Amino acid sequence: MGTRHSINIPKEREAMRVYTEEPRKLKPERRKTNVNYNATVQRPTGEGNEKLESPSDSLVKLGGKSSSINKAATINIRSQLLYKRAQLPHYLIEILKEADSRLEIDKSSTDRLYEQLYNGVHLKQNKQKYWIDRTNKANCFMLYAEDLSITWGKDNRYWNWVDIKETSDENFIAAELKSVCWLEVCGSFDTAALTPETLYEVVFVVKIKENADGLESITVRLIIPNKSSNELTVNLMNVTEREKWIEVPVGEFFTSNEFKRKKKREEIEIFLYETEKLDCKQGLVIKGIVIRPKA
């Protein structure tokens, strides 16, 4: 009989463990390596095989002797990305999803980007307009009359809807009061689109016609959820400049930071009404509501 040969069967490898800890808490396994960190990095030169260098590749070429170099480079790269991201106005990407026409964002220059946004962008089929303030770069909005809730607004016995073109790029529809006893106009807006930690003011933009009547005691009101409300009574019959757009202040509020907003949605409500004296009211034209940082 031939010589028997014994076969050594290796032990089974330990089953792979599934770690539930965060990666940063796991200690890396130390292994010996034959990599020469001072060697020149060879890059493929064949057509179709070229590979872009990663930041770690560049560090290897520099020597890679100290881990502090890696950390410094990583922090620098991240800070550059955060800096570029910070150049975009707050909530811009979400706001532009509602834009009526596609806006090509010029990211090559902050100045060019902001110049586009200073002029404004129409949203929601021309029912809103968005722009940024030149002074503090904060978000501003106009809610045109079509975006507001107006009692009896769809009844042409009481209201007219007038197409107004003021400039080549400013075209909107205003609500003109013919005659009504119950006057009530309301708008609402989600503060998520407003720049955090900024003092904002809210105004109605209206026009008083020559035939205006019954507008002696108009109430404007701003409601801020879980905070406060502001209410004023104004006499629009005292307006001397007729047939011109004027601003009627409603109130002010301070926007919370982004962390608090993520926990709870905040929506403001804006009112203009007179529902106690049921006499005839006429000659009021409503352009809309402006929400902007207070100067």
pTM over 0.75: no
Mean pLDDT of 118-147: 96
Angstrom CA distances, 63 to 33, 73, 76, 128, stand at: 16, 13, 18, 56
Contacts of 225 (CB under 8 A, 6+ apart): 266, 267, 268
Cα distance between residue 39 and residue 249, in whole Å? 71
Cα distance between residue 70 and residue 63, in whole Å? 11
Which amino acid does the sequence have at 166? E
| Residue that has been written with the tokens 């407003």 in this structure | 194
Flag whether pLDDT at 265 surpasses 90: no
Mean pLDDT of 85-106: 82
Mean pLDDT of 206-219: 97
pLDDT tens by residue, 154-194 = 999 999 999 999 886 789 999 999 999 999 999 999 999 99
Is the model more confident about 226 or about 237? 237
pLDDT tens by residue, 12-63 = 444 444 444 444 444 445 555 454 544 444 444 444 444 444 444 443 343 4
Cα distance between residue 78 and residue 57, in whole Å? 17
Longest dimension (CA), the chain: 126
Percent of the chain with pLDDT over 90: 56
